[in-house]
Structure formats: C-alpha cells, structure tokens
C-alpha cells in the first residue's frame, strides 16, 4: 500500500471535516487543518509502519486456514503443529530486528 496526504489527514484528524480540491496542499480547506509538514511526517510514519509489518502479511498468506490448523493440532498435538507448521513459516519470514 502506498500512503498519501489524504490517508495522513484521515489518520491525524479522523473526525475532521475537510474539502480537498486537486492534489496540492493549497487545495485543502477546513477547520484546524494540519500543516503540510505534519501531513508529510504522518505519510512517512504510516508508510514506515506498513512496511515494517510486511513479514506479518507474508506469514498470514503462508499459514493454512484455521480449520486445517486445528485439525492438525487435534491429530498431532500442539508441539508437532508448532514445529511442522508455525516454525517453518517464521523461519521463512523472520521478524526484523
């Protein structure tokens, strides 16, 4: 996902009422609007947060659905589930330091 100033505005002022004409900051009107620097900083923060969680998204796609996992636990036990299903995915997509 690519974040922009619109996402930043919604993040900073979720209940604010604004109108944005065009794509430039000068087209933004509304009460208590954040500065352009505040919007830029929020865009950077949102993007960094999203990027830092890429490993979580990749893991989510790799794991089997919950029903399959519960069935595996039922038939093989919790430790076997962890070593056969969870650990390989975590090794493939490690959490950044």
Q: Which of 66, 57, 96 is nearest to 85 (CA)?
A: 66
The answer to whether the CB of 50 falls within 8 A of the CB of 3 is: yes
Alpha-carbon distance 33 to 29, whole Å? 7
For each of the chain's 97 residues, which pLDDT tens digit applies?
A: 899 999 999 999 999 999 999 888 999 999 899 999 999 999 999 999 999 999 999 999 999 999 999 999 999 999 999 999 999 999 999 998 8
Q: How far apart are CA 71 and CA 84, in angstroms?
A: 13
In the three-class reduction of DSSP (H, G, I as helix; E, B as strand; rest coil), residue 32 is classed as coil
pTM value is 0.75
């Amino acid at each position: 996902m690519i974040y922009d100033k619109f996402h930043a505005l919604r993040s900073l002022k979720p209940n604010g009422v604004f109108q944005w004409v065009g794509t430039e900051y000068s087209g933004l009107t509304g009460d208590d609007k954040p500065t352009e620097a505040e919007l830029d900083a929020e865009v950077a923060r949102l993007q960094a947060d999203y990027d830092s969680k890429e490993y979580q998204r990749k893991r989510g796609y790799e794991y089997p659905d919950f029903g399959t996992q519960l069935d595996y636990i039922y038939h093989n036990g919790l430790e076997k589930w962890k070593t056969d299903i969870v650990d390989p995915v975590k090794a493939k997509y490690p959490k950044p330091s």
